[in-house]
């Protein structure tokens, strides 16, 4: 079940290579310059849908070995950044 306040992000993975799309319609051809271990992240279904529509308009279809992975990020805590550094250690430098 999706939470209303959660941010949703999407990546496209090539099942044959395990790599993620960096965007661009050239990804259709599996050229290595369009795929990487991290790839591009689309924020929301609108930008993702726009990208996939460009691929369809350019190539007539979406490759069957592409899958969309959806991520959900929620704010767990908000803390002062100084909690994560040792001030005394920095002062010794």
Q: How high does pLDDT run on average in the chain? A: 87
Residue 31 or residue 12, greater confidence: 12
Amino acid 4: pLDDT = 57
**b/e 54-93 (16+ beta carbons within 10 angstroms → b):** ebeeeeeeeeeebeeeeeeeeeeeeeeeeeeeeeeeeeee
Instruction: Collect all residues with Cβ–Cβ distance below 8 Å to 74 and sequence separation of at least 6.
Output: 3, 5, 6, 7
Where do the structural domains in the chain lie, given as residue ranges? 7-91
**Residue 5 pLDDT level (bands cut at 50, 70, 90):** low
Give the range among 14-18, 53-57, 80-84 with minimum mean pLDDT: 80-84
Q: Classify burial at 11, counting beta carbons within 10 Å of its beta carbon; exposed 0-12, middle 13-18, buried 19 or more.
A: middle
pLDDT of 91 over the 80 cut: no
């Amino acid at each position: 079940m999706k939470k209303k306040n959660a941010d949703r992000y999407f990546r496209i993975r090539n099942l044959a290579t395990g790599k993620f799309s960096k965007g661009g319609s050239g990804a259709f051809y599996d050229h290595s310059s369009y795929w990487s271990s991290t790839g591009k992240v689309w924020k929301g279904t609108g930008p993702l849908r726009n990208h996939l529509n460009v691929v369809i308009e350019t190539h007539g279809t979406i490759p069957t070995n592409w899958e969309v992975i959806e991520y959900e990020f929620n704010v767990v805590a908000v803390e002062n950044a100084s909690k994560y550094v040792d001030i005394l250690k920095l002062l010794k430098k």
